[in-house]
Amino acid sequence: MLRLALLVAVAGISTAAVAEDVSVANGARIAVIGGCHDCHTVGYGESGGKIDPAAALKGNPVGYGGPWGVNYAKNLRISASTKSEDDWVTFLQTFQAGPPMPWFNVHAFTEGEMRSLYQYIKSLGDVGEATPADVPPGGKFLTPYVDLGTPIMPKG
């Protein structure tokens, strides 16, 4: 019984200790460790992880092609600008998107992480332009895209 009481006490303390830090700085960190810049920020990967403040999370006009047609890592500044912070949380908890967007990973964020990400995105300023319109399967594409289609099998 004593052991159980101790456990509860310790659990209580640790929950308090991880009380969430909702801040722009934490949102900036989450965008990095969540891999969001990898696809949503032009030049991020090529520069070895330097974040160009003018491009951060504005989306990428180079698309992803596959059986779904061609889609684009969207401008998240626009996504956030059209929502209140509470609406953003509900959106991130429920949205689904086409490949290669790992939307299921975003569902695992805590509410505080979602709020921090929102505050970071809003702090970036100028909302910028939307990415090109998605192209349906077999449709005419007007931008370069990365082919994520049929795997190329080894010869042999």
What's 147's DSSP letter? E
Considering only residues 6, 7, 8, 35, which one is a binding residue for ligand HEC as defined by CB under 6 A?
35
Please tell me whether residue 144 binds ligand HEC under the rule CB under 6 A.
Answer: no
Binding mask 71-100 for ligand HEC (x = CB under 6 A): x-xx-x--x---------------x-xx-x
| Element of type H or E holding 146 | strand 145-147
Stretch touching ligand HEC by CB under 6 A, among 17-25, 68-76, 122-130, 143-151? 68-76
CB of 35 to ligand HEC, least distance (A): 4
d(CA 36, CA 59): 10
d(CA 88, CA 78): 12
Please tell me whether residue 41 binds ligand HEC under the rule CB under 6 A.
Answer: no
Is residue 42 within 8 A of residue 125, CB to CB? The reply is no
Considering only residues 28, 36, 89, 135, which one is a binding residue for ligand HEC as defined by CB under 6 A?
36
CB atoms closer than 10 angstroms to residue 15: 9
Which segments of 6-122 are extended strands (E)?
63-66, 69-71
In the complex, the residues that contact ligand HEC under the rule CB under 6 A are: 34-36, 38-40, 64, 71, 73-74, 76, 79, 95, 97-98, 100-102, 105-106, 134
